[in-house]
Amino acid sequence: METQPLTSKEQMFVSTDVMLRHWQGHRNLTRRVIEAFPEDKLFSHSIGGMRPFAHMVMEMIDIAEPGVKSLATGNWEKVEEFDHTKTMPQTKEGLLERWDKVTALIDKTWPTIAPERFQKVEIAFGQYENANYDTLFYFIDNEIHHRAQGYVYLRSLGIAPPFFWER
Amino acid sequence: METQPLTSKEQMFVSTDVMLRHWQGHRNLTRRVIEAFPEDKLFSHSIGGMRPFAHMVMEMIDIAEPGVKSLATGNWEKVEEFDHTKTMPQTKEGLLERWDKVTALIDKTWPTIAPERFQKVEIAFGQYENANYDTLFYFIDNEIHHRAQGYVYLRSLGIAPPFFWER
């Protein structure tokens, strides 16, 4: 049997290995942005009616934690909306602890994701129908997006945020 | 000859085809964020000493335009620093025109990039040594990052930005 040349849909841009490193690199930077906030401002500072950064961080946690499990299993639970009022830690230390638990969960769960699962189309969180690679891109892009808003919050407080390119 | 199972470094997360769509999807959203700015605020509004959004947009252009060409050819020109003072359009319409030219350039150039080039390590812009997939991730992540700062600018002006999930 002759080997067929790959079609452009099959040409790899990036491997699953690299993608884990990419995701965790971003999470590492976000952790340092959390650390850069004075504790009170983390939970209170706002511009233009936007949420305090701690709430954005809880959204990232509430996406990544069930998200990585569902990427592995294909079982997506419906999330009507993210309600952090009861589950959000009330201290910076508590928030960082939650963050670190998710980091460890991702490292532990990732090797159990069969690579072909990323090409499957599923209904993420019971609502968002996409290929799983796009779903994971969304998790990361959403984190970059809200973290960058945290950068503006920090700048508006006169605090220099971590360098964007350090992961 | 038996087929060897792929190692995790060879397992595809995402294809080159999807990556072009992903990049242009983000660029389409950024275009709508540019459009959402009142013309004067685009070139003047600032928070915490940060650059006006038009300057951030010029950075995106100054990365993507030579960047996509270099991804195709492997010829990276050294960029000491991006100086927009002479090249930046002075109107929103002019900026959008520049943006659209780069969009067309990316669509035209992308099919000329041999897929295996993304796995090569090169010194982007004569300074940043990375696998080309990481270099392109950086282009996109940097755009998401600064666009999100544009979101805060818009909110601080009382303007609702486009939905993040619409591409």
Q: Quick: pLDDT tens for A83-111.
A: 666 789 999 999 999 999 999 999 999 99
CA distance B32 to B143: 13
ipTM: 0.94
Asked, for residue A10, whether it belongs to a domain, the answer is: no
Asked, for residue B106, whether it belongs to a domain, the answer is: yes
Asked, for residue A53, whether it belongs to a domain, the answer is: yes
Residue B37's domain comprises: 16-77+86-156
| B47 to A141: CB separation less than 8 angstroms, yes or no | no
Q: Which of B41, B98, B107, B35 is nearest to B72 (CA)?
A: B107
> Looking at the complex, does the CB of residue B16 fall below 8 Å from at least one CB of chain A?
yes
B121: β partners: B131
Q: Quick: pLDDT tens for B104-153.
A: 999 999 999 999 999 999 999 999 999 999 999 999 999 999 999 999 99
| B48 to A148: CB separation less than 8 angstroms, yes or no | no
| A149 to B148: CB separation less than 8 angstroms, yes or no | yes
Asked, for residue A7, whether it belongs to a domain, the answer is: no
Asked, for residue B124, whether it belongs to a domain, the answer is: yes
Which residue in A8, A15, A151 is closest to B13 by CB distance? A15
> Looking at the complex, does the CB of residue B19 fall below 8 Å from at least one CB of chain A?
yes
CA distance B128 to B154: 32
Q: Quick: pLDDT tens for A62-84.
A: 999 999 999 999 999 887 666 66
CATH number, domain with residue B37: 1.20.120.450
Asked, for residue A167, whether it belongs to a domain, the answer is: no
Q: Which residue of B has its CA nearest to A22?
A: B134
Substitution target from B2, B11, B13 for chain A, most A beta carbons within 10 A:
B13
In total, how many domains does chain B have?
1
Asked, for residue B108, whether it belongs to a domain, the answer is: yes
